[in-house]
Amino acid sequence: MAQLFEGSGGSGAGGDARAGDFSVRALDMLFDYSKTAIDPAARDLLLELVAVHDLAGRREAMFTGERINRTEDRAVLHPALRNPDREGVQVDGQDVMAEVHETLDRMEAFARDVRAGRIAGQGGAYTDVVNIGIGGSDLGPVMATLALAPYHDGPRVHYVSNVDGAHLADTLRGLDPTRTLVIVASKTFTTIETMTNARSAREWMAGKVDDPASQFAALSSATDKTGEFGIDPSRVFGFEDWVGGRYSVWGPIGLPVMLAIGPQDFRAFLSGGHAMDRHFREAPAKDNMPVMLALVGMWHHQVMGYPTRAVLPYEQRLLRLPAYLQQLEMESNGKRVTMEGAALDMVSGPVVWGEPGTNGQHAFYQLIHQGTTPVPCEFMVARKGFEPELANHHDLLIANCLAQSEALMLGRDLDTARALMRKAGHEGAALEMQAAHRVFPGNRPSTTLLYPQLTPQVLGQIIALYEHRVFVEGVILGINSFDQWGVELGKELATALLPMVEGADASSKDGSTRALLDYLRG
């Protein structure tokens, strides 16, 4: 592996010149990639990829509503959901902005009425909201709701995603059905987990509420199906097929977030996303944060061959960010063929995983520091927390975040380890053995994203940053980042298996599946 800090030109490892040159500042955030092995020549080569693959052209095709999701023949226009302009974005010659804003205005009116108790349940103002959805209809709103806890001033918002009855039962336990609003969030309104949970939630309400459907709202593109479920059109918030599930938190799927934090703060979230859109569209590649985040990731995955990437937010409220990014990255770029359907001749997107710091330090960082496979780490931390009375905690959080990237970069060599062991009283073979265990190879790559504070605006910037990173990676790989055919086969087989789980003949199944069924059917 190339040495980190090659050509740093600064004062020692990670010197000043390198830190300034190998970082991007935008929208009051700082993305630092000086602790990677990328040198100016490598960066030039990476930047060439951007030109060769016509990123600028592909990006404009997305923002101007071309049908770039070719296998589904759809435009990809989630940025329109956070665009404050009331006109100017077209799909097939049709301006879509009026409809986007009309829906946003309706969502806001609904959220204000629910929060003020003007729209209420049979037993009075809503105290609780239960959002039922899965995948993109869950991960974004869950992540954002947790992230923005300091801004919560509405009803309590809960999320049910798993078809495991435990999720619904544990969530509903203790809630008052007469003061609970249920939101069914499903783009297609056919997802079996969501529809099963929605029906069970309706049964939970039946008997205690005269008209359970009146305490339901729906977020969906399939407005015909929401009607069949019995949800009044005034409580249905629709969106177009050009909003992909994992990109949908900015529109109606974000309604539970809006209920929790209020319309004004939700607008700030949208405005953060829009600011990142403008930066992505306008900044030259080397100063473009999503572009450089993507290129650094591709360097690690494609060039260095590191199979995974860890997302390590030093921000407890970003607890669900790694799960959110898992879907964003892995559902978007986990593909095996190019846009044209030819076999991909490089590896597709990496495995994304992670946990907030400092918790992860006491769990899996051992492997990151001393395991044999390097794991590129993506650290994130805010300049400021929200608990002034606990400012010392935040200082400790920052110190830990910086210490980890420093330890990964510098490591500890054998001589230093030996000296430590000598000081601890070891000698001879015992000293050698003990010292070997205390060596840190160092030279392990990491990046750090710094931001002022996790406000709605900044969260919007961060989420749009990652969305565009995925887009850039997809363009360079030459794949379609906006379909997800890989989830279909399992869904089809589950539908066919259900009757067999319930006792039907399973002789058509393979021997392994039959044996598992035999056990489970008792």
The answer to whether residue 238 forms part of the interface with ligand F6P (CB under 6 A) is: no
Residue 309 belongs to what H/E stretch?
A: strand 308-314
Q: Give the integer Cα–Cα distance in Å for 142 and 315.
A: 15
What count of other Cβ atoms lies within 10 Å of the Cβ of residue 226? Answer: 24
327-356 residues in contact with ligand F6P (CB under 6 A) are 331
Cα-only R_g, the chain: 25
**Closer by beta carbon to ligand F6P, 171 or else 191:** 191
The answer to whether residue 134 forms part of the interface with ligand F6P (CB under 6 A) is: yes
Span interacting with ligand F6P, options 57-65, 134-142, 311-319, 344-352, rule CB under 6 A: 134-142
**Closer by beta carbon to ligand F6P, 254 or else 356:** 254
Residue 430 is classified by DSSP as H
Beta-carbon contacts of residue 295 (< 8 Å; ≥ 6 apart): 43, 46, 47, 49, 50, 472
Which amino acid, one-letter code, is at 77?
L
**Closer by beta carbon to ligand F6P, 38 or else 144:** 144
The answer to whether residue 494 forms part of the interface with ligand F6P (CB under 6 A) is: no
275-314 residues in contact with ligand F6P (CB under 6 A) are none
Distance of CA 265 to the CA centre of its chain: 20
24-83 residues in contact with ligand F6P (CB under 6 A) are none
Token reading at 89 = 């974005």
Query: Which residue in the list 362, 423, 427, 492 is annotated as catalytic?
Result: 362
Nearest to 501 by CA among 514, 489, 510: 514
CB of 58 vs ligand F6P, minimal distance in Å: 21
**Closer by beta carbon to ligand F6P, 248 or else 461:** 248
**Closer by beta carbon to ligand F6P, 277 or else 331:** 331
**Closer by beta carbon to ligand F6P, 491 or else 521:** 491
Which amino acid, one-letter code, is at 500?
M
491 annotated active-site? yes
Give one word for 374, left, alpha or beta, with left for phi > 0 and alpha for psi -120 to 50.
Answer: beta
Which amino acid, one-letter code, is at 231?
I
Residue 440 is classified by DSSP as B
Nearest to 293 by CA among 309, 304, 282, 306: 309
CB of 160 vs ligand F6P, minimal distance in Å: 13
The answer to whether residue 480 forms part of the interface with ligand F6P (CB under 6 A) is: no
Under 8 Å between Cβ of 313 and 50:
no
Token reading at 196 = 């099963």
The answer to whether residue 187 forms part of the interface with ligand F6P (CB under 6 A) is: yes
Number of residues that bind ligand F6P (CB under 6 A): 14
**Closer by beta carbon to ligand F6P, 105 or else 488:** 488
Sign, CA torsion 321/264/260/121? negative
β-bridge pairing 236-238 and 216-220 = parallel
Binding mask of the shown chain, residues 394 to 433, with x at each position contacting ligand F6P by CB under 6 A:
----------------------------------------
The answer to whether residue 455 forms part of the interface with ligand F6P (CB under 6 A) is: no
Cα-Cα-Cα-Cα torsion 416, 419, 423, 424, nearest 10 degrees, comes to 70
Interface residue with ligand F6P among 8, 36, 191, 405 (CB under 6 A) is 191
The answer to whether residue 246 forms part of the interface with ligand F6P (CB under 6 A) is: yes
Span interacting with ligand F6P, options 132-140, 230-238, 464-472, 512-520, rule CB under 6 A: 132-140
The answer to whether residue 226 forms part of the interface with ligand F6P (CB under 6 A) is: no
CB of 134 vs ligand F6P, minimal distance in Å: 5
Nearest to 459 by CA among 342, 344, 320: 320
**Closer by beta carbon to ligand F6P, 2 or else 494:** 494
Q: Give the integer Cα–Cα distance in Å for 435 and 313.
A: 32
331 annotated active-site? yes
The answer to whether residue 487 forms part of the interface with ligand F6P (CB under 6 A) is: yes
Residue 216 is classified by DSSP as E
Cα first-last separation, the chain: 54
The answer to whether residue 251 forms part of the interface with ligand F6P (CB under 6 A) is: no
Query: Which residue in the list 315, 331, 355, 378 is annotated as catalytic?
Result: 331
The answer to whether residue 484 forms part of the interface with ligand F6P (CB under 6 A) is: yes
Interface ranges with ligand F6P (CB under 6 A): 134-137, 186-188, 191, 194, 245-246, 331, 484, 487
Q: Which positions are catalytic?
A: 331, 362, 491
